[in-house]
């Protein structure tokens, strides 16, 4: 059995023959196979790593883009927060200035700083206002009914609008009234607006500006008898009720506002000399102490009267 093989080499020096065992041939083939396999694995590994690197780079680019977007949003948020902080600082400064002004007014009026531990009612009990002082405040701040009181058809607060049929906040009350019922001023004031006001839906409208930041609004009028900038006294005729604007029947829409906030006119309608302190319990957000102090040095020489207020106990 031949276990050898011969390798013949030709060169310039002649012919050489090398006899090798077949085991060497098999070993060489095995080594070559291993090298080819390793080469294939290396190529496959390189291709895989290259694809992985591309995927990582793509994810890295996506993350970089997301980070840049997040950074932009953060910058916008920081700018918004800085703007808000500046606005808050400005508002705080304005409020501090207003508070200082109010404090100065109270000092000028001779009003001592209020003790927060003392209730409003107790403070007014200590005040013991005279009859003239009460009449003065009632002359300048809206009270009593602007028309002959026949009842309320729609109360203050949330309701379903009678013509729009949707929920809304009713900033006043609707007083029951026939057509052309006389409407009187509930306190001294200046006519801020008198005429048709389509945008509000009140039709013919009158707005009176009273002392100390109070306003009264009268809507759905049939006839207005006052003019803008005209001074009116308490009890003076200003208009006649009607059904103008967005209304489903004759009545008077009546509002009372203090510093742009709406308050329930019902308690002001009930307010009179006989139940003078009751309004202080019902509307505690109004700074009555300052108002009483402001009127304590005033005196109305000839106080006027409006129609009778709502009888006590009647709801």
CA distance 33 to 36: 5
Top pLDDT among 9 and 238 is at 238
Burial 123-142 (b: 16+ CB within 10 A, else e): ebeeeebeeebbbbbbbbbb
Q: Which residue has the tokens 């950074």?
A: 71
Task: Provide DSSP, 21-67.
Answer: EHHHHHHHHHHHHHHHHHHHHHHHHHHHHHHHHHHHHHHHHHHHHHH
> What pLDDT was estimated at residue 21?
67
Q: Does residue 63 carry a pLDDT above 80? A: yes
Per the rule left: phi > 0, alpha: psi between -120 and 50, beta: everything else, 229 is: left
Q: Which residue has the tokens 């309701």?
A: 159
At 243, list the tokens.
């059904």
Q: Residue 19: CB partners within 8 Å, gap ≥ 6?
A: 4, 5, 6, 7
3-state DSSP call for residue 235?
coil
Distance of CA 196 to the CA centre of its chain: 29
At 259, list the tokens.
């510093």
pTM: 0.57
Chain-wide mean pLDDT for the chain? Answer: 81
Other CB atoms closer than 10 Å to residue 290's CB: what's the count?
Answer: 16
**89-93, 208-212, 277-281, range with greatest mean pLDDT:** 208-212
Q: Does residue 311 carry a pLDDT above 50? A: no
Q: Residue 305: CB partners within 8 Å, gap ≥ 6?
A: 234, 235
* Mean pLDDT, residues 148-167: 78
> What pLDDT was estimated at residue 128?
63
> What pLDDT was estimated at residue 115?
44
* Mean pLDDT, residues 277-303: 83
Q: How confident is the model at residue 1 (pLDDT cuts 50, 70, 90)?
A: low
- Lowest-pLDDT choice from 8-12, 142-146, 273-277, 288-292: 8-12
Q: Domain spans of the chain?
A: 1-108, 120-296
Give me the CATH topology for the region 120-296: Glucose Permease (Domain IIA) (2.70.70)
At 52, list the tokens.
């992985």
Q: What are phi and psi of 106, to 5 degrees?
A: -60, -40
CA-based end-to-end distance of the chain: 132
> What pLDDT was estimated at residue 117?
37
- Sign of the C-alpha dihedral computed for residues 174, 178, 179 and 185 taken in this order: negative
Q: Does residue 286 carry a pLDDT above 60? A: yes
Q: What are phi and psi of 211, to 5 degrees?
A: -70, 155
CA distances to 30, 147, 184 from 233, rounded to whole Å, are 121, 15, 9
Q: Does residue 226 carry a pLDDT above 50? A: yes
């Amino acid at each position: 059995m031949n276990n050898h093989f011969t390798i013949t080499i030709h060169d310039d020096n002649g012919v050489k023959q090398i006899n090798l065992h077949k085991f060497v041939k098999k070993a060489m083939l095995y080594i070559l196979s291993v090298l080819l396999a390793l080469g294939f694995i290396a190529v496959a590994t390189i291709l895989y790593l290259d694809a992985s690197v591309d995927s990582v780079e793509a994810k890295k680019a996506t993350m970089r883009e997301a980070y840049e977007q997040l950074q932009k949003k953060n910058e916008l948020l920081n700018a918004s927060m800085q703007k808000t902080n500046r606005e808050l600082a400005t508002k705080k400064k304005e409020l501090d200035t207003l508070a200082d002004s109010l404090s100065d007014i109270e000092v000028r009026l001779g009003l001592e700083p209020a003790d927060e531990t003392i209730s409003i009612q107790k403070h007014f009990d200590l005040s013991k206002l005279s009859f003239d002082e009460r009449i003065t405040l009632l002359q300048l701040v809206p009270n009593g009914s602007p028309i002959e009181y026949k009842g309320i058809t729609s109360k203050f607060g949330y309701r379903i609008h009678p013509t729009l049929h949707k929920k809304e906040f009713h900033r006043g009350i609707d007083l029951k009234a026939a057509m052309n019922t006389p409407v009187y001023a509930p306190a001294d004031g200046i006519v801020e607006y008198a005429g048709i006001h389509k945008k509000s839906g009140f039709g013919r409208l009158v707005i009176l500006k009273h002392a100390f930041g109070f306003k009264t609004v009268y809507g759905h009028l049939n006839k207005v008898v006052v003019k803008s900038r005209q001074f009116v006294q308490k009890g003076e005729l200003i208009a006649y009720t009607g059904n103008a604007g967005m209304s489903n029947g004759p009545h008077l829409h009546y509002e009372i506002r203090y510093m742009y906030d709406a308050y329930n006119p019902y308690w002001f309608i009930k307010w009179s000399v006989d139940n003078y302190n009751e309004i202080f319990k019902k509307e505690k957000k109004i700074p009555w102490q300052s108002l009483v102090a402001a009127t304590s040095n005033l005196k109305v020489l000839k106080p006027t009267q409006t129609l009778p207020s709502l009888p006590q106990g009647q709801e």
